Structure 1
Amino acid sequence: MSILYRSAFGLAQDIKAGKLSAVTVLEFYLDRVEQFNSAINAVVALDTDRALARAVAADKAVAENEDWGPLHGVPMTIKDAWCTEGLVTVGGIPEHKDFIPEKNAIAVQRLVDAGAIIFGKTNVPFMSADLQSFNEIYDVTNNPWNVERTCGGSSGGAAAALASGLTPLELGSDIGGSIRTPSHFNGVFGHKSSYELITKRGHLPPGDHVLSEPDLSCAGPLATCVDDLEQALALLAGPAPDITAHPLPALPTPSFRDASHLRVAVWADDDFCPVDTAIAEHIESAAKTLENLGAHVNRSARPSIDPQANHENYLQLLMSTIGGNTPDEVQQMAREIVAAADPDDRSEALLQMRGIAMDHKGWMVQNEIRQHTRVAWEAFFRDYDVLLCPCTHVPAFEHDHHPDMQARVISVNGVERPYTDVLKWAGLTLNAYLPATAVPLGTTADGLPVGMQISSRYLGDRTTLAVARLLETHHRAFVPPPGYND
């Protein structure tokens, strides 16, 4: 029976039915890692002995009619920003190269409690703070579609491992497109959940003992099919089980009954962040598919927000969160730069410094701006079920690890654009705490994957996933990179 690119939850059903052995499935993925990982460097740490022992126990449980849960005996990798008990967790941070957590992050534990077997970790950038996955400890992860290109970040190793068939399921995190951009670059599915729907407790950063949930940062699964996203989200959703967390209401059912009742807004390109022509064309093609299914599609509808102003607001809030993990001398340097700058300077570099230097009063000002944006989005989604827009504005680009991000540039339709533009479409929806499902749509003329994000109102996760399922069924399902479907 085939294992490669099977649904993780489908594999569990076959293991529990005795059609597959958990040991056989684990050995299959370990063999895949040995065969393919050297070219892409997606899986950076293995826990082979303990994983094999758990696989043996999973098979023994089946023989004794014990059901561990919906992921019974399924091996999987975990993004190396999540703490994994007994398995090194570096997070791209050199000082953590020997850090072995004493317990799993809560989200990881929920997968383990459902029967999953964690057999390895996948690569991330330093502190998960880049849209490319490379660090001093584990080096660079390549894109399986073209090793000269980035796999994205920060869940880049996760997406590359899925695309190349090294794992059937992954757990990502997203504060700047870190689930959606790698999904788009590698041609897989990913879901960035509504803010605080999945607890980040045990994520690095901020750290394994930090109780508070960082602003903006979200979590979610990556997979090769929508069914796995939906079932994984059901397992992962929920706050930390203690008095520091507040429960969220149950996720509502999709906001439309069938395609004929679906209201779709399309935002495929914009001057605030020009989009590669191939991406915009693929988004339009996906919108046409939904239209042909009976959906009501509007290509000019927009929320009553200024997208550039949203980006400036988001960037400062983002850097305020990231700045909380920086040394005091970095924050002092940022304050000095901001104090000496022109108050009207809206350059990317200075906006980042303003975020790092921000005091609580400044944060409250930016948060108030954000809340008005959230109200505007909520009003928009009274008229539309979903918005289709880019995950980011370009396909996977060539590796560029210049230490100064402001010195990096990306070519868009032959025009050089700032590297930090990679954050603009991701922040458009993330800043308002909205859910977004990344779906593959096809490839460019030179064979690079193209995806898009499907967003909806806060806690509308099941709506975005329902539209993703429509597109998976009627437009494009997962397609492996050439050479990996063996």
Structure 2
Amino acid sequence: MDLTRLSAREQLRALERGEVSSRELTTAHLERIARHPEHNAVVTVDGDRALAAADASDQRRASGQAGGALLGLPVTIKDSLETEGLRTTCGAQELAGHVPERDADAVARLRAAGAVVLGKTNTPPLCQDIQTSNPLFGGTPNPHDPQRTAGGSSGGPAVAVASRLSPLDIGSDLAGSLRLPAHYCGVHGLRPSYGIVPTRGHLPRPPGWLSTSDMLTIGPLARSAADLELALSVLAGPAPDDSPAWRLELPAPRHERLPEHRIGIWADDPYCAVDAETGALLERLAKELLDAGTYTDDTTRPVSMADSDRLFQSLMFAGSSASATPEAFAAEVQLADTLAPEDRSARTLYPRARTMRHRDWLLANEERQRLRKRWAAYFDDIDILITPAAPTAAVPDQTGVPVPERHITVDGERRPYWQQTTWLNLASLVHLPAATVPLGHTAEGLPLSVQLIGPHLADRTVLHMASLLTEGR
């Protein structure tokens, strides 16, 4: 039996029953990584320490000692999360020799639960692209078509899971960085509710920083919704500094059976129209839900996509300025000062947002809080909102194309490159849990997913719906 074909839960069950050892599982995945260099997903392998950790896990089981929820399970970690004693580069040349002395908080939780870290997975430089290639390690192609992108910035994690190099990976998501690669590579990805998984130790904020973006989350990628739930049970909880007083108990799913749910469907929008195959997937899913007796609402919209996206971009660009060098930021301020006050075109959004005054940020944040209230009111009547994950399936890789010249094509129409994540940004702005779930394929065999968005802290409702939608597929 090829052990790498087992899901994370299946591997743990086999360990619990004594059918396989952690060393055997770890060896099987290390060997698969070595046999398939074409994936270029696991860019730093920690083989010796992984085998030592596996042996220690086996000894704990043999002696009957208590173990964590992931005891002996091999996992990989996105190279933007710091790992003690193991190179962490975030794909950047200036961090090529960075070997942290401490695990990121999320990584520490995995290790405390008994996970065996196989190595680190590829990411674009400083997580600042939505395809995965960097000068240190090269590109990570889509496993379904090497001419297409794996997405980014968690492209390495998605490919590692899709190619069975690892049953579980931990990535990060700000502007769809986890959910887009999951969609393009045909695996499951979860962006948890903001704040329930600690983010300290995540780059590209410089090593040693304690803060990260106010929209960044850390979440899992896996080959099933059940495995996402397993990972979330380990990752979720208050940050270490808050743990003496605070506890986190996520609510159970709102309902058990599919027909009990009230489902919103946002299948298309003129602001970011989807292609025919994506539209057909949403149409088929809507029919399946109706046939199952599930209430659906395909007309009510919680917010304006255009307004939401503009606010998202402003807050994202503002937050990204924190790690700019003083010289670079001074140049940006100088550029912004030359802009005519009446010029509010798209080209001025970036420089204005990067250099906005604190008062302007406070006003933008107030607008975000009002949007959060609108989403909460929407979820008073709706349990889950289903949207496209992206306008299309995986697009051609454009690593060699200058960023200003990059674009995507949607049913023959040339569209902006960054519209790949517009649908995903709906949830990022307002701190909601969201998952991308593979439910079909294009005529060319590329994976197609939908996005599930749930109420704040209803992560288990999102994951339960993902399970219901994928059962029997």
Q: Same fold (TM over 0.5)?
A: yes
Contact kept, 8 Å, 1:122 with 1:161, in 2: the verdict is: yes
2:241 match: secondary structure: coil
Contact kept, 8 Å, 1:39 with 1:147, in 2: the verdict is: no
For residues 384-399 of structure 1, what are the structure 2 equivalents within 5 Å? 384-399=382-397
Partner Cα distance (1:176, 1:205) in 2: 14
Partner Cα distance (2:418, 2:400) in 1: 13
Partner Cα distance (1:176, 1:167) in 2: 24
| Bigger shift: residues 305-314 or 278-287 | 278-287
Residues 408 and 386 of structure 1: CA distance in aligned 2, closer, same or farther (over 3 Å): same
Contact kept, 8 Å, 2:14 with 2:20, in 1: the verdict is: yes
Residues 450 and 253 of structure 1: CA distance in aligned 2, closer, same or farther (over 3 Å): same
CA-CA distance at 1:135 after TM superposition: 1.1
List per-residue Cα deviations over 1:391-411 (Å, max 9, x = no partner). 221211111135753321111
Q: Aligned AA for 1:401?
A: T
Matched positions, count: 473
**Which residue number in structure 2 is paired with residue 414 of structure 1?**
412
**Which residue number in structure 2 is paired with residue 159 of structure 1?**
158
Q: Work out which of the residue numbers 360, 381, 384 in structure 2 matches 1:383.
A: 381
Partner Cα distance (1:254, 1:112) in 2: 27
1:68 match: secondary structure: coil
Contact kept, 8 Å, 1:349 with 1:406, in 2: the verdict is: no
Partner Cα distance (1:335, 1:417) in 2: 29
Partner Cα distance (1:18, 1:249) in 2: 33
| Bigger shift: residues 403-412 or 41-50 | 403-412
2:408 match: secondary structure: strand
Residues 283 and 247 of structure 1: CA distance in aligned 2, closer, same or farther (over 3 Å): farther
**Which residue number in structure 2 is paired with residue 13 of structure 1?**
13
Q: Which runs of 5+ in 2 are unaligned?
A: none
**Which residue number in structure 1 is paired with residue 327 of structure 2?**
329
CA-CA distance at 1:348 after TM superposition: 3.9
2:202 match: secondary structure: coil
**Which residue number in structure 2 is paired with residue 479 of structure 1?**
none
Q: Work out which of the residue numbers 465, 468, 474 in structure 1 matches 2:466.
A: 468
> Alpha carbon RMSD of aligned pairs, Å?
1.7
**Which residue number in structure 1 is paired with residue 144 of structure 2?**
145
Residues 248 and 438 of structure 1: CA distance in aligned 2, closer, same or farther (over 3 Å): farther
Partner Cα distance (2:300, 2:271) in 1: 16
1:197 match: secondary structure: coil
Residues 8 and 457 of structure 1: CA distance in aligned 2, closer, same or farther (over 3 Å): same
Partner Cα distance (2:401, 2:241) in 1: 40
Percent identity, please.
38
2:101 match: secondary structure: coil
Residues 373 and 334 of structure 1: CA distance in aligned 2, closer, same or farther (over 3 Å): same
For residues 20-39 of structure 1, what are the structure 2 equivalents within 5 Å? 20-36=20-36, 38-39=37-38
TM-score, length basis structure 2:
0.96
Q: Aligned AA for 1:21?
A: S
**Which residue number in structure 2 is paired with residue 423 of structure 1?**
421
Residues 437 and 333 of structure 1: CA distance in aligned 2, closer, same or farther (over 3 Å): same
1:171 match: secondary structure: strand
CA-CA distance at 1:19 after TM superposition: 0.7
| Bigger shift: residues 435-444 or 387-396 | 387-396
**Which residue number in structure 1 is paired with residue 280 of structure 2?**
281
| Bigger shift: residues 389-398 or 203-212 | 203-212
**Which residue number in structure 2 is paired with residue 362 of structure 1?**
360
Contact kept, 8 Å, 2:206 with 2:323, in 1: the verdict is: no
CA-CA distance at 1:126 after TM superposition: 1.0
**Which residue number in structure 1 is paired with residue 40 of structure 2?**
41
CA-CA distance at 1:330 after TM superposition: 2.5
1:242 match: secondary structure: helix
Asked if 1:437 corresponds to 2:438, the answer is no
CA-CA distance at 1:213 after TM superposition: 4.2
CA-CA distance at 1:252 after TM superposition: 1.2
